[in-house]
Structures are given as C-alpha cells and as structure tokens.
Amino acid sequence: MSEFIEWLEEANQKDSRVRAVLRRSLSFDPGCYPPAYPYVEWRLKEEENAWRRAAYYLAAGLWGQHFREDRNDERMPIGKACAAHQQASGSTSTERRFISLLDSDPDQLPHRLRHMVSLLKDHNLDFESLLKGLLYWNDDQKRTQNAWARDFYRQLDNETKTDLAIKEAVR
C-alpha cells in the first residue's frame, strides 16, 4: 500500500473526521477545499505540478467517499471492479460509463470518477493503483486508460469463460 493511502487509513483510525473532510472535498475542484489541506499537503511537499497535486486530492476524496471499516476482501483495481459490477448487476450501462470515464479529459475526470466510485460501493477498491493511474492520466500514450481497459475486458473475459465452463459442466 502506498505511504499516502496507508497514512490516510491510520489517520482515520485516530479521527473519523478525516473521511468526512475528504468526502466533502469532492464538492470542490481537487485541491480547492482548505479543510482538506492538512491531510494532503504534507505529501505534496514542494510539488509544483498542478495535475499531480489534483490527483492526490482526488484520490484522497474518493478514498474518503468509498472507505468502509468492514472491508476484508481483496482490493481490486478500478477496471476489474467495474467488470465485476457489470457481471453482478447485469447492467450494460456499466461498460458505457466505464468507456466515458476512460475518455475523460482532466476537467471531466473528477466528476466521472466520483460517480463511478459511488457505483462501485460494494467493491473494495485499490486506491494505491487508482492514485498511481491518476498521476499518469495525461500520458500521451494513455497508459493508465489502456491498463484500466485491459483489467476490465480481461475480467469480463475470465468471467464469461467461467460461466461457459459451468454451463458445460451442468450439461
């Protein structure tokens, strides 16, 4: 787990206000909610890159929105979690939302990602990989988007193969 996410979890154990403040920060542009500064600025130190700064604030806010005490299951990257949600719900709109998320520009991303994380409330997300992906979101080769898409479609393919194998075994 990243030092940052681990620190948030430890801070949350000491003071549950951490989650509330970070959740509330999602109502503002990333990095524009002063009460969240004590929980994120220490990590940024002398960071001058505006996108990296926004990524940390966005990841922290999403972590605060999504955190649940009782989660013991394996943490899933967002692509796999979206595929698992689609499989569990049978909703085809999950894929459309996921593709819109992948196609987001930096201005759209916080809004779309907030809604996707809300949709995935029953899945334990890996916020370390989410933060790492956000940090490289603007890469010219779209490595984050490609990695998330690979996770999504491979998970769907694995589930489909498993379903087919079960149906064959029942026959």
The enclosing domain of 11 has a CATH number of: 1.10.520.40
Q: What is the pLDDT of residue 168?
A: 53
Q: How many domains does the chain have?
A: 1
Q: Among candidates 53, 48, 64, which has minimal Cα distance to 5? A: 64
pLDDT above 70 (res 167): no
- State the pLDDT confidence band at 110, using cuts at 50, 70 and 90: very high
Contact 18, 39 (CB under 8 A): yes
> What value does the mean pLDDT of the chain take?
90
Note the pLDDT of residue 171: 54
d(CA 131, CA 133): 5
133-165 pLDDT, tens digit each: 999 999 999 999 999 999 999 998 876 555 544
Q: Which domain holds residue 88?
A: 3-170
- What is the structure's pLDDT at 2? 66
Q: Which residues pair with 154 in a beta bridge?
A: none
**pLDDT of the residue at 45:** 80
Query: ∠ CA(73), CA(128), CA(103), 5° rounding?
Result: 105
CB 54 within 8 A of CB 123: no
